[in-house]
Structure 1
């Protein structure tokens, strides 16, 4: 899975054993369904024998009592078969829905464990397509495959036995349709598999276009750049290709169906002819012939059903392959096998020991040989030109990535030895980009701490200098922020993000350009609040505005992914180096 064209790669083949493994937890219910199917098939086999008795015995003898019982038997068989069918469908559908639910949850959970690197190289629309379109397309197969196999196989075997009992000669005549049916089914399966793979890739492309074009940011960009007509053409082209693939998928195999229908129509005629030719002539009763032709139609239906299941499974392996490809993704940043717990209270002593990091797919390291010591409760500021590695250091502290070399510790414990859920309670971060959910302000703040009280929420908002903005809204803290928070200005969103992080009250605070979107007046107010809240808290600040970090205990100047200078503001000014040039 590399690059933005990951969906264009052909996923690895999937074994049917793995597909069958999805049903393993549901074997008790599946066994019950199979038992119902067997019972239904056996009961249904009574119909042709009852029909033969009516034609050969009850009607010629005008035996009303026997005729009545035989008719009652036919009705009873129909009622029992219907009840069995309803019960079977209910249980089978429940199994299929549970399998789909678990598969969706498994894929969603596994994707949440992926590192940021995966999401930077994968289109959001592609991810959505695999969870919705691909898993949704698998539903019919998972729901009906096992039951279809059991139902059709049981019916075919029971019907074949009944036909043999009636006339083995006519049974052999009926089987002439099997070889061409198998050959046609195999060819159709190969064609449908390829078309299904193409269709799902096109659906993913369509999802990507929708995601990129109809988000609030995408709409604004298209209106500013005047790219609306081009986007419409792009969408229309993808939709047209999808229409073509859908038509091909529907039409593939129709010619096989037409051919088989012709053969099916001819078989009864051949049976009638065979019954009138020596050595069969005069040896078969009319009732036997009628019952046999009735069974013959019932034999070919399950046979074709089994062939259709094979075609469906073969074509659906393209869907399973795309979903299993995501489930098989390695987790680059994961919980340790044997996690440790930080001793409480957490002091917040942060260290970098000769840390280097190279982004996946890159050759040159983003940072090299970084060694830092940030004592508990102290503050450190990272400054430097764009691309110097400052934000990479911040990403490593919150473990969005793991170092390529070296280690980062908190209170002497390697970050990789801690559970991720524990780490987020120790280190809080406010980044350059602010993401707000399409929910109320209160829900956005409580996202960081679900058990927070209203008083604690208001405290965090006041500390971030955003309380007055919120209470001025039509519904105060219950006002919906809009898609991605576009109801607010950049500075207001940034302050809400700061409040959200402060609500967790982490012992280590990382501010990656946290005040970059604020005007000078608001920035000074938020900065005063942050300085007050930073007392007793280890703080790492990354900023371009050097005025915001003059009072930091340490200032580290970075260039080209390495530490160029380090010291206090005054000491760095005295050496008249790169930092002094930045402040000039």
Structure 2
């Protein structure tokens, strides 16, 4: 990894994207009734929790001096009831908080996933897959504890702390002032520790993303094949070890951040009861003038111990929330990514009557300051005909086809189907009308049948078999021990490239779109299989508008129209015979069997 890359990643680690607390609280808006019930239960629990010290004071100051067994029994029984009630309400609080928290977590996960699904293809071509996976798995997983338990702990501990503070003043206001004197100091410590840990947590999240990327790239069929054939297994292991070591170092730093301050806080809270006893001793030393009873001292000490726990919890909650803001920032970064291609408010459903495709003065580039990938491209693809797009690698063939499917959007010009600008129709209806068999075949790690039904969930078994027969793959599937229930393996690696391609073709044909895009759809097939599949495609292309991108001469010479792209511009157009006679760029490509 180069020094420049390391510096860039370090700079990214240090970024601290501010997230307003209000935005986090808005995540709980759909669950206000449940939150109100939760707060009510927490208040009742807090009241039950502070009852025991008052009952204890009554035992020491009234029941025991009077040797009244009934009164002792009454107050002791009250302490037991208060303890059981507090415990039961605590269980109810835990259930309510986790139920609400997990609903919020579900909403966040779904929102991030759905937002990612709506982003343009360009986003995924320039973003590491591991980075995306890390946002969903690591970052959202990291805020799980904050949403499910920390928020409730804050309410619970805050309510308890307030109740205890009031009770302390009721018992003795002078001792209460002493006990509460250290609270502002604790809040200051929390803010300082939180800022320090937030920076470390963001750095850790970035390193997790880098490690997730390495895992997704190297622990896969293609990654293992690459490592084994290139003899780079140890190099990858060393790279993984380096990433893991950085994460471990950051974990230690995050854990130790503010540890001494936390220890000082704990010691301070423990010292408070000692000071209470000392002050009480001073009062007792004055004999009859004392205004503090023994029961008050014991009850106050007991109450102080009850204050220590919520106070400590609040400090921990403050630190956790502060550091978790880094993860919230990374999650909201995804949710704030602009949707480059979306339905317009006035978008209508595309109803294809014939399937006529027109490209009007299209220009496109991947970055605002980059060179034009396509420039002033115009063409008409009549309904029911096949148009082949040929050209050298990098000439813009695939980009042009993807513009028809609106996977990208032209910077200038428009794509029209039956005279309708595809920007004015819904994306779902466009997907129903334009089918794509991409150059890289993607099959899901499930059965063949489920892979095919991914295109048409309500397809019958007969529909599936007709599509596979048309793609010349049915016989192979039927010969497998599990037939259509055969698991294809990750990305379909159980099958050969040609077999995967034919399954993909069957999947698109099952969808039966009026416009079909074949991006090197037969590139992975041997000559014999290619001829068989091409015959099926030729037959199925009748009455269907087909755009075919291919390097092989055999797949384009029967097209009604051939467009020749050169540096993003159409330099020739016509039939195979016409372009051969022209003796230009197409003739040159054909002479080399369109393999450039």
Query: Is the pair's TM-score, using the shorter chain for normalization, greater than 0.5?
Result: yes
Of 258-267 and 450-459, more deviation after overlay is shown by 258-267
Residue 54 of structure 1 and its aligned partner are, at CA, apart by 1.0
Segments of structure 1 that go 5 or more residues without pairing to the other structure are none
Q: Tell me the residue number matched to 1:340.
A: 348
Matched, 1:353 2:360: yes
Pick which of 537-546 and 158-167 moved more: 158-167
Alpha-carbon distance in structure 2 between the residues aligned to 1:441 and 1:11: 46
Correspondence 1:184-583 to 2 at 5 A = 184-277=189-282, 281=286, 282-343=290-351, 346-360=353-367, 363-583=370-590
Question: In 1, Cα distance between the equivalents of 2:301 and 2:374?
Answer: 79
Counterpart of 1:91 in structure 2 is: 96
Using the alignment, how far apart are the partners of 1:562 and 1:164 within structure 2?
83
* Alignment partner of 1:120 out of 118, 125, 148: 125
Pairing partner for 2:145 from 117, 140, 150: 140
State the partner residue of 2:58. Answer: 53
1:280, CA displacement in angstroms? 8.0
The DSSP-based 3-state class of the residue aligned with 2:181 is helix
Does the C-alpha gap of structure 1 residues 247 and 220 become closer, same or farther in structure 2, counting only changes over 3 Å?
Answer: same
Deviation at 1:361, TM superposition (A): 5.7
Runs (4 or more) in structure 1 with deviation over 4 Å come to: 3-8
Q: Alpha-carbon deviation of 1:549?
A: 1.4
C-alpha distance in structure 2 between counterparts of 1:261 and 1:115, whole Å: 52
Q: Within 1, Cα distance between the matches of 2:81 and 2:196?
A: 43
Q: Per-residue displacement from partner, 1:286-326 (whole Å, max 9, x unpaired)?
A: 11110111112222332232222221111110010000000
- Would the aligned equivalents of 1:7 and 1:201 in 2 still touch at CA under 8 Å? no
1:581, CA displacement in angstroms? 2.2
* Change in 2 beyond 3 A, CA 1:92/1:311: same
State whether residues 188 and 311 of structure 1, in contact with CA within 8 Å, keep that contact through their aligned partners in structure 2: yes
Preserved contact between residue 553 and residue 568 of structure 1 (Cα < 8 Å): yes
Distance across 1 between alignment mates of 2:502 and 2:431? 20
How far the C-alpha of 1:430 sits from its partner, in A, is 1.0
Q: Equivalents in 1 of 2:551, 2:253: separation in Å?
A: 57
Q: 8 Å contact 1:485–1:493 — kept in the other structure?
A: yes
Shift in CA distance, 497/119, structure 1 to aligned 2, threshold 3 Å: same
Q: CA deviation at 1:349?
A: 0.5
1:172 aligns with 2:177: yes
Contact 2:468 2:503 in 1 (8 A): yes
CA contact (8 A) 2:17 2:326 kept: no
Corresponding position of 2:160: 155
Using the alignment, how far apart are the partners of 1:364 and 1:457 within structure 2?
Answer: 44
Q: Secondary structure at the match of 1:408?
A: strand
CA-to-aligned-CA distance 1:306-353 (integer Å, 9 cap, x gap): 22222111111001000000000001111121112334x521000001
Query: Quick one: distance in 2 between partners of 1:500 and 1:184?
Result: 61
State the alpha-carbon separation in 2 of the partners of residues 41 and 385 from structure 1.
Answer: 75
CA distance in 1, matches of 2:232, 2:368: 31
Query: Any idea what the Cα deviations from partners look like across 1:202-251, whole Å, max 9, x if unmatched?
Result: 21112111111101110110001111101111111111222222222223
Greater shift, 85-94 or 38-47, is seen at: 38-47
Alpha carbons of structure 1 residues 7 and 392: separation in structure 2 relative to 1, 3 Å? farther
Change over 3 Å in CA distance of 1:304–1:117 after alignment to 2: same
| Alpha-carbon RMSD | 1.8
Alignment equivalent of 2:36, drawn from 31, 36, 43:
31
5+ long unaligned stretches in structure 2? 592-596
